[in-house]
């Protein structure tokens, strides 16, 4: 018999690392839930840090590749990396304990840096990672000691002790997954109390949206409906876990340069506001590629920002006001910069509380978000808004600007073919070619279609709902067998024809014509 510690097989040691990490992450989730700081847990915080740090081309690549499932992809990626690192640390720690300690310190460093550098971080946010680290070190030390099982006779590798360990490890991992998921649910439950989308009752506005003309929705198969149902409405944001705000404790402060009377508004102040109104507005994302789906049309209920700015005594730049930028901040620390001139020029810029007849959903910004007709979402549509500061473009860069997007983002005129789909094989004969076109602000005046790069033929336009919404169009086409291209372009009411020049979404929105190919059979 010798006292030299027995060598642990690499597989068992790696497994010990994996189990320790799983139990540690579950512990961190529990602490995050108990503290009501679910975004401060290591995985969430590191994920959010990655989202903030990745350069624009990589972000665009991720969005192109994964679409709006980009966050699931990111979390999966972090999970895989974490698992590999944990296995390595386990294997290393079984040979040299100091390596295990170094690994744990690395985990702790990454988690703490990420959690404490969130824009809304508080010192308490160190606790989930701290707890996780202690648990990780404890479980790993215990596992390695068990695996080493000093009393087992030589030659008993893979004997009862090790088998018991594998079983125990499996059980511990399953328990950790259950506890972690439970903690997540608990977080959602805790912060989902009070006034939620399910319990809010919206008042009917005195100022309703203008009645829609007959036929605004052509109701053609495969064509995007005039109003986008909430479930189909695209979602673009940096929030790894959707903020769940209690509207009964929510407030919004309006302050800053040139504000004479600072305002602090409660949710109820907005619901009872005399200017509460309903407007139809098509929201559009700057990262929408030509032909893409990152836009949707909704009926919004909200209070005009211009009314609130007037109550605060803010003068627009053309009236000599000192602030040219309105910076909105969200609960999760997002900053969005909007030209003051654009929200005071008479357009229907809203602090919205309702979408398509319902309170906003958590995903779309509950309890309150901004919506400004004619501006891409990244410069206007702040969700989970809690603060509005009047400032200047010269003195403050909002979130997206240092990440390579233009400081100002007016929506570019675009048009899209919805049906037939690109690559479809419709049957010969009469085919309805249909889609949507948008030129928020002026409205769409004309849509033209070119088949096989022939002359432009004017499509039939559905009646206009509002100049701030998209407009449907249709062209009956006598389709002959063979392969054909279909290209579309729109002209706005100021007479500007949509440019054929192709530009990528970054930095100021994609341009170029949407062109599809079909094979008529
Ligand atoms: N708090 C917050 N608000 C945000 C964002 C965000 O990342 N965080 N993204 C903006 C962008 S880029 C767009 S296009 C719109 C999308 O709104 P939706 O998700 O409701 O469609 O929200 C905007 N508001
Ligand atoms: Mo966007």
Ligand 1 contact, 195 CB (< 6 A): no
Identify any residues that bridge with 433 across adjacent strands, giving them in sequence order.
475
Q: Are residues 258 and 316 in the same domain?
A: yes
Ligand 1 contact, 371 CB (< 6 A): no
Q: Which residues lie below 8 Å from residue 432, measured CB to CB, with a gap of 6+?
A: 220, 419, 474, 475, 476, 477
Best probe residue, ligand 1, of 236, 299, 335, 374 (max atoms within 8 Å of C-beta): 236
The most distant pair of C-alpha atoms in the chain lies apart, rounded to whole Å, by 93
- d(C-alpha 466, C-alpha 115), whole Å: 44
Q: Are residues 238 and 379 in the same domain?
A: yes
- d(C-alpha 29, C-alpha 68), whole Å: 25
What are the pLDDT digits (tens) for 245-263?
999 999 999 999 999 999 9
Atom of ligand 1 nearest to the CA of 284: 14
Least confident of 51-55, 196-200, 503-507: 51-55
Q: Are residues 252 and 327 in the same domain?
A: yes
pLDDT attached to residue 145? 87
Q: Which residue puts its alpha carbon closest to atom 5 of ligand 1? A: 237
Question: Could you tell me the distance, in angstroms and rounded to a whole number, from the CA of residue 465 to the centre of ligand 2?
Answer: 23
- d(C-alpha 466, C-alpha 444), whole Å: 10
pLDDT attached to residue 65? 79
Question: Could you tell me the distance, in angstroms and rounded to a whole number, from the CA of residue 283 to the centre of ligand 1?
Answer: 10
- d(C-alpha 254, C-alpha 328), whole Å: 9
Q: Which residue puts its alpha carbon closest to atom 10 of ligand 1? A: 378
Q: Are residues 55 and 124 in the same domain?
A: yes
Per-residue pLDDT averaged across 338-359, rounded?
98
- Residue 420: which domain range? 414-520
Q: Output the domain CATH number for residue 433.
A: 2.60.40.650
What are the pLDDT digits (tens) for 68-88?
788 888 888 888 888 999 999
Pick from 403, 409, 251, 412: nearest CA to 338: 409
Question: Could you tell me the distance, in angstroms and rounded to a whole number, from the CA of residue 380 to the centre of ligand 2?
Answer: 9
Q: Tokens representing 245?
A: 């705000």
Look at the alpha carbons of 169, 171, 176, 181 in this order and tell me if their dihedral is positive or negative. Answer: positive
CA distances from 222 to 218, 225, 364, 464 (A): 11, 9, 25, 20
Residue 282 domain flag: yes
Q: Are residues 157 and 120 in the same domain?
A: yes
Nearest bound ligand to the CA of residue 372: 1
Q: Are residues 104 and 176 in the same domain?
A: yes
Q: Which residues lie below 8 Å from residue 2, measured CB to CB, with a gap of 6+?
A: none
- The count of domains in the chain is 3
Pick from 415, 414, 416, 401: nearest CA to 506: 401
Question: Could you tell me the distance, in angstroms and rounded to a whole number, from the CA of residue 131 to the centre of ligand 2?
Answer: 36
DSSP letter at 39 equals G
- d(C-alpha 351, C-alpha 353), whole Å: 7
What are the pLDDT digits (tens) for 426-441?
999 999 999 999 999 9
- d(C-alpha 318, C-alpha 344), whole Å: 10
Please answer whether residues 492 and 438 qualify as being in contact, where contact means their C-beta atoms are separated by less than 8 angstroms: no
For the cut 80, the answer to whether the pLDDT of residue 158 exceeds it is no
Nearest bound ligand to the CA of residue 381: 1
Atom of ligand 1 nearest to the CA of 236: 19
For the cut 60, the answer to whether the pLDDT of residue 165 exceeds it is yes
Q: Where are the alpha helices (DSSP H) in 379-429?
A: none
Least confident of 234-243, 266-275, 336-345, 485-494: 234-243
pLDDT attached to residue 156? 47
Pick from 473, 325, 436: nearest CA to 388: 325
Q: Are residues 242 and 376 in the same domain?
A: yes
């Amino acid at each position: 018999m010798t006292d030299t510690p027995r060598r642990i097989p690499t597989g068992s040691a790696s497994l010990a690392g994996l189990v320790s990490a799983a139990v540690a992450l579950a512990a961190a989730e529990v602490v995050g839930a108990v503290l009501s700081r679910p975004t401060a847990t290591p995985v969430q915080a590191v994920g959010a840090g990655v989202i903030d740090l990745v350069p624009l081309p990589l972000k665009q690549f991720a969005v192109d590749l994964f679409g709006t499932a980009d966050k699931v992809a990111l979390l999966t990626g972090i999970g895989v990396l974490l698992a590999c690192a944990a296995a390595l640390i386990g294997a290393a720690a079984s040979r040299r304990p100091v390596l295990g300690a170094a690994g744990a310190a690395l985990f702790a460093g990454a988690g703490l840096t990420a959690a404490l550098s969130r824009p809304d971080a508080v010192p308490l946010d160190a606790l989930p990672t701290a707890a996780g680290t202690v648990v990780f070190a404890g479980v790993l030390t215990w596992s390695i000691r068990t695996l080493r099982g000093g009393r087992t006779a030589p030659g008993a590798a893979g004997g009862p002790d090790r088998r018991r360990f594998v079983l125990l490890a499996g059980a511990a991992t399953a328990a950790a997954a259950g506890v972690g998921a439970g903690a997540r649910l608990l977080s959602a439950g805790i912060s989902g109390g009070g006034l939620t989308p399910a319990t809010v009752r919206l008042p009917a506005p005195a100022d309703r949206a203008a009645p829609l003309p007959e036929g605004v929705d052509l109701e053609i198969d495969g064509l995007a409906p005039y109003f986008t149902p909430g479930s189909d409405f695209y979602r673009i944001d940096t929030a790894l876990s959707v903020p769940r705000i209690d509207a009964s404790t929510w407030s919004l402060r309006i302050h800053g340069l040139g504000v004479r009377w600072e305002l602090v508004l409660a949710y109820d102040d907005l619901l009872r506001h005399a200017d509460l109104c309903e407007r139809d507005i098509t929201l559009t994302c700057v990262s929408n590629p030509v032909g893409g789906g990152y836009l949707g049309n909704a009926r919004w209920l909200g209070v005009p920002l211009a009314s609130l700015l007037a109550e605060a005594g803010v003068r627009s730049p053309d009236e000599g006001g000192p602030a040219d930028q309105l910076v909105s901040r969200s609960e999760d620390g997002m900053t969005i910069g909007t030209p003051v001139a654009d929200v005071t020029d008479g357009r229907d810029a809203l602090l919205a509380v309702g979408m398509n007849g319902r309170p906003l959903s958590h995903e779309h910004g509950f309890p309150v978000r901004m919506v400004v007709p004619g501006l891409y979402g990244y410069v206007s549509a702040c969700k989970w808004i809690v603060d509005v500061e009047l400032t200047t473009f010269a003195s403050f860069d909002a979130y997206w600007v240092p990440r390579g997007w233009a400081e100002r983002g007016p929506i570019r005129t675009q048009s899209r073919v919805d049906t037939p789909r690109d690559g479809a094989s419709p049957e010969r004969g009469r085919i309805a070619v249909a889609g949507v076109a948008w030129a928020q602000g002026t409205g769409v005046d004309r849509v033209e279609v070119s088949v096989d790069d022939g002359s432009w033929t004017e499509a039939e336009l559905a009646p206009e709902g509002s100049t701030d919404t998209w407009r449907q169009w249709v062209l009956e086409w006598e389709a002959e067998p063979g392969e054909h291209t279909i290209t579309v372009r729109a002209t706005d009411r100021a007479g500007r024809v949509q440019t054929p020049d192709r530009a990528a979404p970054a930095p100021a929105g994609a341009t170029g014509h949407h062109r599809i190919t079909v094979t008529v059979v």
